[in-house]
Amino acid sequence: MEIEKGYKIGPFWSNKPAEWFNKKTAIFWRISPSSIIPLLKSVVKPNGESLWSNFGIVGGEEENSKVDIPVVSEKLPILLGRLATVFEIYNRELEEMEEGELYLDQLLQLRIKPTLSAHKTDLEQATAILYLMEQGDRIPVIIGNLPKDELKELLKFLYWMGLEKGKVGVISISPLLPFPTFSDLLF
């Protein structure tokens, strides 16, 4: 059901309609796939494959995931944005905007090694999340309950990765409507 620049998918909120999410790859952010997939299977219908069988978890661990980053904070999305910039796998059009320049400045100030160690993770795990996001033409990101600052940083990172271009779709427990723009998040 479309509402006010967003969608209601079962009990969740989204920036895309349910059929957009029928991919096998997904990122789960502070939510367990085993807790949410049964709730969404009736609404998000997979195309002959299991729903989100190739996934990464940020802020948790699960046996069948491709990558886990168990500890998360508001700095982790900034770290992932910084690494996406290093590997040049972000929406380059944002660099041309004032907002993009501001975000890039924020990313370039972050030191990678101390942030990685604070999250009890390594470069391989962080880059594996980026790899999952980059490998597909569309990537669902399913978001659990987040502190406000972490949600804001996560949404900035998702815009950096292609949210505005339609590459990233978000399903959230928390209402995100009207869905914030990149400018809203920076100013």
Structure tokens at 183: 């400018």
pLDDT digits (tens, 9 = 90+) for 43-77: 776 665 667 888 999 998 888 899 999 888 888 99
Residue 88 is predicted with a pLDDT of: 93
Given the structure tokens 């989204």, which residue do they identify? 14
Class of domain 24-33+50-176: alpha beta
Would you say 30 and 59 are in contact if contact means Cβ atoms under 8 Å apart? yes
DSSP of 48-87: SS-TT-EEEEESS--TT-SEEE----THHHHHHHHHHHHT
Q: Model confidence over 85-102: pLDDT tens digits? A: 999 999 999 989 999 999
In the chain, the largest separation of any two C-alpha atoms, in whole Å, equals 44
Structure tokens belonging to residue 13: 């909120």
